[in-house]
Amino acid sequence: MTRRRLPALRAGLSPQRRLAGMLTGLVVLLLLTMVLAQLREVLDLPSQMLLYLLAVVVVALVGGLVPALAAAAAAAALLAYYFIAPDSFAVGGLNDVVALVVFVLVAGVVSSAVGLAARRTREAETHATANAASREELSMLAEEQAALRRVATLVARGMPPAEVFAAVAEEIGHVLATDGTVIVRLDPDGAATLVAGTGAYADVMPVGSRWNLEPPLALAGALRTGRPARLDDIGQAPGAYGDAIRGLRIRSGVAVPIVVEGRLWGAIAIGAKGERFPADTEQRMAGFTELIGTAIANADSRAQLTASRARIVAAADDARRRIERDLHDGTQQRLIALGLELRLTQAMVPAELPKLQTQIGRITHELTEATEELREMARGIHPAILSTGGLGPALRTLARRAAIPVELDIRTGTRWADPIEVAAYYVVSEALTNTTRHARASHAHVTVEQHDALLHLTIRDDGTGGADPARGSGLIGLRDRVQALGGSIEVNSRPSEGTAIVVELPLQPDR
């Protein structure tokens, strides 16, 4: 904030005013004495004294107490010399002495009263000026705080950095009354990419444009040193950027670096057509650059978190796929072969050993059942049909095997990346299992469609409703899986209104 010096509140009158008082006293007393000398016969002593008193008051008004006291003393001397005992300082009688003493006392009291009043007036004026200044300062501070709060809210809500950049550029523009604001990112090759711009800048320097910045531009300074920099006269500033801002008639600029987790990330620069920004500008911009730094750091760690969740889910899916293949190609095949051999062995058993025949028949039957069970288990670990046929055939198998009628509405035949298909499959599988187990529904309806870069899944049933992720592990597992892909899941399940699960999966990892 601007720190203005407040004027000293108990200021007396200035030396100039005192000097003016002295001069006034000299002139007024001189004139008055000349006039009264002419009227000596007409006016009596009290009237003369009153006129001198008036002169002293005038002097007090102009120059305050000190000149007024001097004037009072001079007036007493003049009265004694010219009017009491003409042409001498001798004083006639007690009456005259009392009159003179009273005159000096009254003049002193009146002067100090007048001087005090003058000082009070001046103090009140000084107060008023100081109040107006601090009121202005307060309202500026309040405006700045409100702007920072708005930006902080965006940051806290996890808005995409691009939105935070645009908001900061706008807010700084207002708070610091700039003619243009830009935010740039420092690229590895040392050039700067514009990520937000306002005012006149926005037209000439679109978001995404790249600039090579050279000293003495303030932006170049901030990006080179990692410290705030300013340039009060753009003058001959070189390069395309220099030309661009000269074209906008910008004359002065200030740039402040943006630091993200200790690393120089970019900078904010403001420009004005006027001469130079106030000295505290860099400090006022720092609050905004800190918020931008936080927004970028947050977005970075969110992206890293999502990526690592996706990696964990993908690794788990990979392992399941491998186990399923090993079971299918290895164990299952060996069990089937074993079953065939047993049947051959059974055929070779002599007819006179019927018990042995029955025994081998029973073992063969058990073996077939065990093999079938193993196939089911393998399917639960990972449905092979998903890898071979894709989402459509896999969902059709699910629907066919469900215990209640399932209406399938698949409005796309495309194949998607493995993680998407696997996630979609598990969502439908868990939802249908829940419907069968908890809903007492008469049927279920599944929709799969693609809009823009999103895969939409809806699974509805007409059952009891009241699904609550907090009461089990299935729905929570689905949410983890969907969020790991950057998607969203919504469970609408009011009691007695059935259940609808709506899932959106982004088809491009980085929307």
Nearer to ligand ADP, 281 or 435 (CB): 435
Residues whose CB falls within 8 Å of the CB of residue 286, separated by 6 or more in sequence, listed in order: 228, 256
| Per-residue tokens: 334 | 């060996």
Q: Which does 450 bind (CB under 5 to 8 A by kind): ligand ADP, Mg ion, none?
A: none
Q: How many CB atoms are located within 10 Å of the residue 303 CB?
A: 12
Residue 484 and residue 371: Cα distance in Å, rounded? 35
Question: Which candidate, 239, 230, 304, places its Cα nearest to that of 267?
Answer: 230
Q: Please state the closest distance from residue 313 (CB atom) to Mg ion, in A.
A: 18
By CB under 5 A, residue 434 contacts Mg ion: yes
Question: Closest CB to Mg ion belongs to which residue?
Answer: 474
Nearer to Mg ion, 155 or 482 (CB): 482
Stretch that binds Mg ion, among 90-98, 128-136, 255-263, 467-475 (CB under 5 A): 467-475
Question: Closest CB to ligand ADP belongs to which residue?
Answer: 472
Q: Please state the closest distance from residue 509 (CB atom) to ligand ADP, in A.
A: 27
Nearer to Mg ion, 78 or 478 (CB): 478
Q: Is 499 exposed, middle or buried (0-12, 13-18, 19+ CB in 10 A)?
A: buried
Stretch that binds Mg ion, among 39-47, 85-93, 212-220, 429-437 (CB under 5 A): 429-437
Nearer to Mg ion, 474 or 487 (CB): 474
Nearer to ligand ADP, 100 or 503 (CB): 503
Nearer to ligand ADP, 250 or 432 (CB): 432
Backbone phi, psi, residue 51, to 5°: -65, -40
Nearer to Mg ion, 195 or 501 (CB): 501
Q: Please state the closest distance from residue 438 (CB atom) to ligand ADP, in A.
A: 4
User: Which positions lie near ligand ADP, rule CB under 6 A?
Assistant: 434-435, 438-439, 461, 463-469, 471-475, 499
Question: Which candidate, 447, 459, 454, 471, places its Cα nearest to that of 498?
Answer: 459
By CB under 5 A, residue 487 contacts Mg ion: no
By CB under 5 A, residue 474 contacts Mg ion: yes
By CB under 5 A, residue 435 contacts Mg ion: no
Beta strands in 133-191, from DSSP E residues, in sequence order: 180-186
What is the DSSP track for 312-380? HHHHHHHHHHHHHHHIIIIIIHHHHHHHHHHHHHHHHS-TT-HHHHHHHHHHHHHHHHHHHHHHHHHHH
Cα→Cα distances 207→183, 291, 348, Å: 9, 20, 83
Compose the 378-417 pattern: x for residues touching Mg ion by CB under 5 A, - for all others: ----------------------------------------
CB 281 within 8 A of CB 289: no
Q: How many CB atoms are located within 10 Å of the residue 244 CB?
A: 16
By CB under 5 A, residue 429 contacts Mg ion: no
Q: Which does 464 bind (CB under 5 to 8 A by kind): ligand ADP, Mg ion, none?
A: ligand ADP
| Per-residue tokens: 252 | 């002065």
Q: Which residues form the interface with Mg ion (CB under 5 A)?
A: 434, 474
